[in-house]
Every structure is written in C-alpha cells, then in structure tokens.
Amino acid sequence: MAESGTRPDEPERFRRQGSVSSKQDLIQWENASVETCTILSWLGYGPEIIQSRRDAYREYGKLVTARFSGMETIIITGSKAEGLSSYTESDIDIMRVLTRVICLEDDVNSSAFSGEITVLRSLSRRSYHGHCRLQLERRGTTILRQVNDAFCDDGYGRELLSSDLYVNNWSNDLIEGMVRHERAGPSIPSTWLGNLHLNKVLALPYYCPSILSKWAARPRHWPPLEAVHRVVSLGAVLTPVGFKGSEYQHVEWRVCFNAGETELISNLNDTQTKLYVLLKMIKNDVLHPRKKEVSSYTLKNIVLWMAENNPQASFHKKSILQWLHEALDALRVALISLELPYYMIPERNLMATSGLDEEQQRTWISTITDMLNEGPRVILRLPKIRQCIIAHPEPLRWYSGRRIELEMLTLMRMNRSVICMDEVDYTDAIAQALIRRENEVMTDVCVRMIMEGSQVINAKAIFFRIML
C-alpha cells in the first residue's frame, strides 16, 4: 500500500520496515525461520491439527446450542476456537448469546422484530469508543428473569440494562461439580470437575451495520473480499463490561466481534498463524504479565493489522522471524506510547485500560529492545522451541504424531459425549472405539518412554503431560 494512502486508522508501525542488512544475514534469518516453522508444526501448530481443533469446537458449540431449545446460541471463542491451543493447554472460553433479545444501533428500525423479542437501543454518544449503554425500547412477551431484573432507572424515567446486574443475575447458574471464581471483566470463570477451567461470557446480539460497513470499506491487502463479507454477516455482540473508570461503567456494555475475529484468524496463512503463536509464547515465557497488561488479544490485534497492511505473499516460512522482529517492534511502540488501535474499531485504544505501571513498562521496553538486538537467536528464549532444537528429530516427530492423534481422538470424544449426554449407561459404540484407540496410543507412549529410560507413574499423568 502506498505511503500516500496512509490513514489515521492504519498505524505506520504495522507496515514492514525491514531489518536485514546483508545477504549473509538474510540467509541466517531464512534458515532459522524455516526451522522454526517446522518445529512449530511438530509442537501442534501445523495447519491440519489447527483446522481439526477449529472444526471440533465449532461443532461442540452447535451441539450444545441445540440443547437450549432456541433460547441461547453457544459459541466457543478465544484460542480454542482459533485452533491455537491444545485440549488441556488453556481455559475454554464459552460465550452464551441470548436469542430473544436484540440490541440495535441508532437509526435501525425495530419493527422487523417479532413481539416476543425484547428490543434495546444502544446509546454510544456518552461512552468511550467501542462501548455503549442500552436503553429499553420494547419489552418482549418472552423475557428471561435475568434480563428483566437487570433494568434500572437512569434518573429520567428511562430504563437502562445494567451490565453489573446482568452478570450478578447469572452468578448462581451452577451445575453439579462446578466451582465459581471471582468475576474477570465480562467473564465468569469456573472450574468443572477439578481440572476443566471455563470462562463464561453472557452476551447479547448487537446489530450494528454502520460499524461493520466502516470496517469493511477500508482499503486493504487482507482479508479477501469473501472473508470480509463473512465477517460482516457474523455481526457483533455486546458483553457486560464497561469502560474502566467511566462514571457509567456499571451500565455500559462493550462491543465485541468474537465470531468475526475467529473467522479472521482462520484466514491468516500458515506463517501469520505461527507468528501469532510465537508472540503468545513470548508473552507467556518472557514477559510474564501479571494482570493481562499485555494479553493475547493485544498480540492478535498487532498480527491482524500487519496482515491487513502488507502483501500476503511477503508472509512465508522463510520470513517468519523477520515478521516476529516487526511485531515485537510494534509491541514496543505500543508500550512506549500506550496506544494500540482496536482492529475492528480503530478509535478504541486497547492500551487505554491496560493498567501498566511505569516500572513494568520500563522493564518490558528494555526486554523487547534486547530481543530485537538478538536477531534470529531471539527464538532461543522460548523453552519449547529451545528443547526441540536440541532434541533428536526422530523421537520428536514420533511423540508429536502420537500427541496430535491423541488430541484429535479426545476432541471427537468430547463432541460424542454431548450427543450421548442423555444415555443412562455410556455404551455408545463410537465413543467406546475412541476410548480404545486412546488407550492404545497411551500404551505405545508409555512403552516407548520406559524403553528410553523414563519413569512412567500413570497413564493419566502422561496424558496431561503430553497434551500440554
């Protein structure tokens, strides 16, 4: 994209600047990049397993949605939906979107919606970008108690839907074996059966054609037009969290595009996807944020901006470490300036509420500066990558193949368990076949570990270890 086409919502730092000074440097960067891409595939970030995860969690959402009789739509979001974390690697983010409530942007006519649907009108003029308040326009004939009991008076006789009351009204929505934790932003974290960590977000559908049309109209290298149309068709939701520090925080809601962003991530090419994975590894293994001052969402937005503002052909397996250099530089600028525009609504600054203190800011800027000066050796800071580099390739490939097969079997069994949820005795033939194959794979792993001199305590411990 030409320099003359630079716009306020296309920050210059998201365009490639170049970081290689000689042909010898270029060869070194390219060789290290190719090796890094190969290792990431062995670690479970190849296109096939990523797509299998995406398909499995999309199917899981559909199966669970079918059990709610049209009252809710269940969407798996975050790294699970993106296919970028294994079964036991991170929390499961679940979004529950009510279907008998609709939130409308200004100037959208509500007459097209049936009388049983509650209609709320967004008021965004007095809220920070990407946030709004919700005023009741029409109470539906069918309305959930959790919604009806969350209305409050704004002092002028108008009813607003309180985001705080809405979350609190769902706080006792527990099932057997579940432990609830302290609220985190819009989500209600919990642990089920001791080891399955869930983050549940209770959202409302939001019809906002002007926001999406403005995003779609941007000149771009990426994503392709058909993907832009799919993102627009997936729409938006409002999640119950206000802008930190706002006097209206308890009644504000945040505009989110979870389904659309999952679609965007699925349109990244292999190199862009692995770039995102590397950035998340750096966050977890190098930066160690305490309170999400820098989150995976921060890094995702950097990758999306870079994909949009640069030709797709420049993202290939020989260039991944050069792009990692560019992404780290963009993160450093964001930390220095405390500014990072939200990809979907650039007027919203993702760093505005990061809670980053001066000491942490200085430390991270210094750390990232050191990383930028290390060249391709920066990859050795990541324990998983470093261990793979020093490991023998044959056993690494063998264990990688078993781990990927085991995860795919587990994902298939996860969805089968929803289908068979109503069975009194768990005798489903497909589920039993999946369990048998899982046991065979685990036996193969345990036998090889014993032959190589490793101590095997029990199969369950090995399962969780191999799936991390």
Quick check: 223 pLDDT over 50? yes
Residue 399 in tokens: 């264990």
Residue 452 in tokens: 């190589």
Residue 385: what residue type? I
Q: Which fold has domain 1-45+268-380?
A: Poly(a)-polymerase, middle domain (1.10.1410)
Predicted confidence band at 126 (pLDDT cuts at 50, 70, 90)? confident
pLDDT at 15: 62
pLDDT at 3: 36
Predicted confidence band at 174 (pLDDT cuts at 50, 70, 90)? low
Q: Cα–Cα distance between 361 and 267 in angstroms, integer? A: 32
From the list 301, 125, 134, 107, the residue with the least C-alpha distance to 209 is 107
At 186-196, the pLDDT tens digits run 888 888 766 77
State CA 39 to chain mean position distance: 22
At 9-28, the pLDDT tens digits run 555 556 665 556 678 888 99
Angle at the Cα of 371 (from 369 to 376), degrees rounded to 5? 140
- HSE, side-chain direction, 13 A CA sphere, residue 283: 20
* Contact in structure between 453 and 446 (CB atoms under 8 Å): no
Q: Is 26 exposed, middle or buried (0-12, 13-18, 19+ CB in 10 A)?
A: middle
From the list 321, 382, 386, 380, the residue with the least C-alpha distance to 34 is 321
* Contact in structure between 42 and 400 (CB atoms under 8 Å): yes
CATH architecture assigned to 52-267: 2-Layer Sandwich (3.30)
Q: Cα–Cα distance between 346 and 142 in angstroms, integer? A: 37
How high does pLDDT run on average in the chain?
90
* Contact in structure between 40 and 274 (CB atoms under 8 Å): yes
Give yes or no on whether 1-45+268-380 and 52-267 have one common fold: no
Q: Report domain extents, the chain.
A: 1-45+268-380, 52-267, 391-467
At 341-385, the pLDDT tens digits run 999 999 999 999 888 999 999 999 999 999 999 999 999 999 999
Secondary structure (3-state) at 197: strand
pLDDT at 159: 97
Quick check: 425 pLDDT over 70? no
If one compares 155 and 273, the residue with the highest pLDDT of the two is 273
